[in-house]
Amino acid sequence: MNNTISTENLNNIGLKSNKELVNAQAASKGKLGQEQFLKLMVTQIQNQDPFKPMENGDFLSQIAQFGTVSGIEDLQKSFSGLSTALISNQATQASSLIGRSIVVETENFNLLSGKNLKGLVDMSSASTSVAVDILDASNQVIKTIQLGPQSKGLVNFTWDGTNSQNQAVPAGNYKMVARANIGGKDVAMQTLIQEKVESVSIGNTQQGLLLNTASKSTYGFNQVKQVQ
């Protein structure tokens, strides 16, 4: 008895030939459905030569193929469910920040008309003199805030939105650069900003959760250094 399954026999049970099946699998990105696999396996067993049964290796190979595809699909579903649950959990946690103040590491900030900047300098070491320069969009220093000698740690400061002539500057994007005199040399210090969270949104997979603040700025959830 010939153990080759004819195209006619396959068509009679609603299956395609090997060539047609390969083409169909390629079109569906190589996925083999459970129902198709079971039909094909039963047909092979029914049509095989009893004196030349299908090799165990071939049979196990097909079982492994089905198991792998099915397992990957189940794993993808599990990871998708886990990802959704994690995002939902983070969103719930982040929503508790609405109305609260956060501290975020940044140099650039958005100044609203009539508002002040609440900033911080992260002092990595004590200094005899600390200063913060406020720069406009063209990177020109418009005001320098002197903070005097400071110890190691976070140092708070406020900018009232005026230039060196005490004139109010227009709303827009600005930059702050902090420097500390340590051992007779000016050393750059990390700056931070204190913002009030107004809402939370979900970005793409790279962005994750986003915190929208009162200054109309947006920060990633992982950028938050402190909640006040």
Domain edges within the chain = 7-94, 105-194
Supply the DSSP string of 58-74, one letter for each residue.
HHHHHHHHHHHHHHHHH
143-189 per-position pLDDT tens digit: 999 999 999 999 999 999 999 999 999 999 999 999 999 989 999 99
- Is-above-0.85 flag for pTM? no
- Nearest Cα to Cα of residue 152 among 129, 131, 125: 125
Q: Token pair for residue 163?
A: 């230039």
If you average pLDDT over every residue of the chain, what do you get? 76
pLDDT score, position 16: 46
Dump pLDDT digits (tens) for 104-136: 999 999 999 888 999 999 999 999 999 999 999
Banded pLDDT at 8 (limits 50, 70, 90) = low
Confidence of residue 141 (pLDDT cuts 50, 70, 90): very high
User: Strand 218-220 vs strand 209-213: parallel, antiparallel, or unpaired?
Assistant: antiparallel
Q: Which is it for strands 224-227 and 101-105: parallel, antiparallel or unpaired?
A: antiparallel
Fold of 105-194: Immunoglobulin-like (2.60.40)
> What's the mean pLDDT in 52-75?
55
